[in-house]
Chain A
Amino acid sequence: MENQNVDRDVKAAIKKNWRLFKQSKIGITGLVIVIFFGFLAILQPLLFLTNIWDEATYHPVVGYDAEKISRTVVECPDQYPTKEYPTREDCPRVDEVNIRYLKAFGIEAEVGDSYESNVQPAPPSSRHLLGTDSLGRDIFSQIMEGSQVAFLLGLISAIIGVGISTLLGTAAAFYGGKLDTYLMRQSDLVLMLPTLPFLFIISAFAELKVWHLAIVLGTLGGLGGTVITIKSQALQVKVKPFVDSARITGGSKRRIMFSHILPNVAPLALLYMVFSVTGAIASESVLSFLGLLNIDMSWGIMIYLSQTEGFIFTGLKYWWLIIPAGLAVTLLAGGFYLVGRGLDDVFNPRLRRR
């Protein structure tokens, strides 16, 4: 009987909060973005399982597919500008190949012949929605793999971090005294730790995989600033009358902490969890961008590859190598941030419009 009541209460609370959340356009926008990337992450294994995508062609790391294209052989002039080519960069055009280039590889050809070659990186086509990279791998598949990595890392590190900080923050508020002082100084220490150099040093001697990074980021986030915020929230709950009445009716300390204070801190913890996902995704991308992580494929690695292979300064000519990965990181991190803002409106009544 009591259980049913609790169930009904929880359901009613969720319904009410969902109604509030729906009102904030920001939150809904963020949720749509997050669901979109979640869909992408789930879609890729499904496509492989149902054999719609062939693993040999579409695998994000070892797949290979070359698009054949026949180009006209031309000879580029020594002097620019000419009538056909205004600058040196315009020759050869997309559908042409320079004869000197072929000769350098010992291929016999005449000017005006058509020469069949592989296109890598290949521009977007119906076969490869976002084209292929310089090794003939499908970019769209890489984006999907990247979103799996991002979700895995973001969620694991957020859960670890928020779990630690909620427990420690509540304990610091509830027990106070020496434990409180110790925990606060500890979070000072973690806060002042320069995170990126710290992660560099860890990556210098440990082979960082996604799991390890998630645990490290989660622990660092969990011991840092969030503890202070959660503690201040728990302090506000601690002085409420229902905690006193629970104590008077003989509730044990542990019971008061876990079943009275924790549920009241939980919304704030959820909020921080959503915000910390943003940070985790960004950290992963930065580390793989600098080439310090031991991961096969992620959004950061895609940008790293496009930079080290020199495509980033070709501008919009090879846009499918540069734009999708960067936008994906930005959008997913932004999506989680917007969801956090939406939740903020729900849990922080002072911000509501009326």
Chain B
Amino acid sequence: MLVYTIKRFFEMVIVFFLFLVISYLLFNAIPGNAFSSLLLNPLLPPEAYQKTIEAFGLDKPLFERVQLYIINFFKGDFGYSYTYYPRTPIDLIAERLPRTLMLFSIVNVVAFYTGFLVGKILAWRRGSKSETWITIGSVFSYTVFYPWFALMMLWFFGYKMDWFPLGKFLVPEKWYDSPYASDEIFYTLILFTTISSFLLFLVFIFTRNIESLQKRRNARLFGLIILASLATMYWTNGEAALKRFYAADIAYHMILPTFTVTLVAFAGTALLTRTTMMEVLKDDYILTARAKGLSQKRIRDRHAARTALLPVVTSFIFTIITIIDGSVLTESIFSWPGMGQLILEAVVQEDIPLAMATFSFIGILALIAHFIADISYAFLDPRIRIKAEN
């Protein structure tokens, strides 16, 4: 296992360097002088101009420039952003990245879980009326033209019903006399979500091996109640009680984007689970389980769904990258100030240092997701694990 991990890691490092070089060459291929908008930008003082020329080695030959770019990348030095002048690209990314990560990790987890649940039930009820309708619904949400769908959701829930805000990160009026910066509140929110989801995960892991389904459900319910009361205790005491009002504002803005992306993202998982589950249900051991007289629910959840999970996990790994892609659209429609919006803005306004930095960072994000997925897949699939150990 360790050898496999190390091998994959080295391959990833090579792929990563290739990615850096290719992304530099891509920007280098922009016709004319890619940095010429720098000369036309009256906001930039001469020092910034000098600094950019030096940082990117614009007066040097191509090979040295590529080298310089890679070195600068590890130093985290991308010069200045043209549009947000005194700020550097790294500064901007550090501000925006947590917002994207927060939104999309929640969406990912929720979408994967609901998708798996729905797919499982679909395969189990094959041939029934409800199966047909839910499948049609899933195919619709899988192939729906996403920006259009998101705009319609925004119109319906945000404008017509007025239940949710029309995009954006927070309501500025509420923050005029706030003692906290919005990022500070947001980090508290991130910490809270991470810890509570970790505890939730622990509850699920510990109750996994309880044999009786009835008892397991009760144990899980009990765990959930304890977690909920812990959360209420946290938000009503000490400093958190002051932050609560502002945190609620941000959380309120997150609901609609999360809901919309989940509706679109769950369908892929549901459809795939349906297919793999149908294949599994034809296997002999399911027949054996039936012959043994096990309850339907146990066959479905314990025998079939566990086996069907594996291909779904693989495909989920690939969708992580698509979801990073999709963040661009979601963020520009819901005006969520994250990485996706940053790169779109940078490309449209030809802010090249910023575009380069964001593109490289999105690439790294995808790479890390890919790497973790690869390793966990090898860990989950005994065939690969054994092959790697021998």
* B→A interface (CB under 8 Å): 11, 14-15, 18-19, 22, 26-27, 29-31, 34, 139-140, 142-149, 151-152, 155, 159-160, 275, 278-279, 282, 318, 321-322, 324-326, 328-329, 332, 343-344, 347-348, 350, 355, 358-359, 362-363, 366-367, 370
Given A189-B15, A201-B347, A282-B145, A338-B332 contact (CB < 8 Å): no
Known: A189-B18, A334-B144. 14 other contacts (CB 8 A): A188-B11, A195-B325, A196-B325, A197-B343, A198-B359, A200-B328, A204-B30, A204-B347, A285-B147, A289-B148, A315-B155, A330-B148, A330-B149, A337-B142
Q: Is the CB of A188 within 8 A of B15?
A: yes
**Interfacial chain A residues near B343, Cβ < 8 Å:** 197, 200
* Contact among A299, A312, A334 with B143 in the assembled complex (CB-CB below 8 Å): A334
Most central of A196, A202, A337 by chain B CB within 10 Å:
A196
Given A201-B347, A290-B332, do A313 and B29 touch, yes or no (CB 8 Å)? no
Main secondary structure of the interface of B (DSSP, over half): helix
A330 touches B143 (CB 8 A): yes
A303 at the interface (CB under 8 A from B): yes
Query: Contact at B30–A191, with CB atoms within 8 Å?
Result: no
CB-CB nearest in chain A for B343: A197
Contacts of A299 in B (CB 8 A): 145
Nearest chain A residue, comparing its CB with the CB of B374: A188
Q: A343 contacts the other chain (Cβ, under 8 Å)?
A: no
| Other-chain contact of A329, B148, B324, B363 (Cβ < 8 Å) | B148
Kindly list chain B residues whose C-beta atoms are within 8 Å of the C-beta of A193: 19, 363, 366
Q: How far is the CB of A268 from chain B (nearest CB, A)?
A: 15
User: Is the pair B19, A192 in contact by a Cβ cutoff of 8 Å?
Assistant: yes
Q: CA A278 – CA B145 in complex, angstroms? A: 10
Task: Report Cα–Cα, A196/B327, bound state, in Å.
Answer: 10
A92 on the B face (CB < 8 A): no
Specify which chain B residues have a CB less than 8 angstroms from the CB of A267 in the assembled complex: none
State how many residues of chain A have any CB contact under 8 Å with chain B.
41
Residues 302-344 of chain A, each 1 if its beta carbon lies under 8 Å from chain B, else 0: 0100010000110100000010011001100110011000000
* A191:B155 contact, CB within 8 angstroms: no
Interface of A is mostly: helix
Evaluate contact between B321 and A201: CB separation under 8 angstroms.
no
Given A185-B11, A192-B363, A205-B29: A303 and B147 interface contact (C-beta under 8 Å): yes
A124 at the interface (CB under 8 A from B): no
What sequence of 0s and 1s flags, for each residue 145-185 of chain A, a beta carbon within 8 Å of any chain B beta carbon? 00000000000000000000000000000000000000001
One of B11, B14, B140, B328 near A334 (C-beta < 8 A): B140
Expressed in whole angstroms, the Cα–Cα distance for A200 and B30 within the complex equals 12
Most buried by A among B142, B145, B328: B145
Contact indicator A350/B11 (Cβ below 8 Å): no
Q: Which residues of A contact B324 (CB under 8 A)?
A: 194
Q: Which residues of B contact A201 (CB under 8 A)?
A: 26-27, 347, 355, 359
B226 vs chain A, min Cβ distance (A): 40
